[in-house]
A and B are shown apart, each in its own frame.
Chain A
């Protein structure tokens, strides 16, 4: 019961426009790390390629 209450507290708490539970969930997701020094065009192409890999 105490754990559920604690979970609800986190779920309902907003931190600078985003729920705290969502931020924690995103923080614990897998991540993709970009090569540094890309141009904007290269970065967007790189991100699209990562999205394709993630969802294939």
Chain B
């Protein structure tokens, strides 16, 4: 009442861990990987995944994709599309060990990606890290 906080009403961006991810976060990941995960969490909390150009909020520097968008050459493409979509599975390139430039420059890629559920536009649940050679994708795949 009268504080003005309600008028601003900033939309909170919420991060959850699966219980196994929490276990790995506390006992398994290297300090460098933890820093990369924290970079991603802090970016999401401040700017969400894709930022907001109108507010000068940046998108995450790494490529972010729904995991049901897979190249045509993937085996079991239909199963991936069905289950990844039903479970709201997404992944983001984490910059671990380093970010690499792409030919179009729209985002960067890395060997390691972080898998998460995008439960709502403002709530993600971190699930697992995956090693994935970005050079394995066709150049025109986005």
Contact = CB atoms under 8 A, between A and B. Distances in A.
Interface string B51-90: 0000000000000000100100001100110011001110
Interface residues of B, number: 43
Given A27-B117, A44-B34, A48-B26, A18 B18 contact: no
A20 B83 contact: yes
B38 A43 contact: yes
Interface string A1-43: 0000010011011011110101110111111111011001001
Q: Is the interface of B mostly helix, strand, loop or mixed?
A: mixed
Given A33-B16, A47-B26, A54-B22, A13 B75 contact: yes
**Chain A binding surface SS class:** helix
A9 B75 CA distance: 10
Given A23-B89, A51-B22, A51-B26, A16 B17 contact: no
Given A16-B91, A44-B34, A47-B26, A31 B19 contact: yes
Contacts, number: 113
Contacts of A26: 18, 20-21, 115, 127-128
A8 B16 CA distance: 29
B98 interface: no
B14 A33 contact: yes
B115 A13 contact: no
B114 to A, nearest CB: 10
A50 B34 CA distance: 17
Nearest to B44: A36
16 contacts: A10-B79, A15-B80, A15-B89, A15-B91, A16-B113, A22-B128, A23-B84, A26-B20, A26-B128, A27-B117, A28-B87, A32-B19, A34-B15, A44-B34, A48-B26, A51-B26
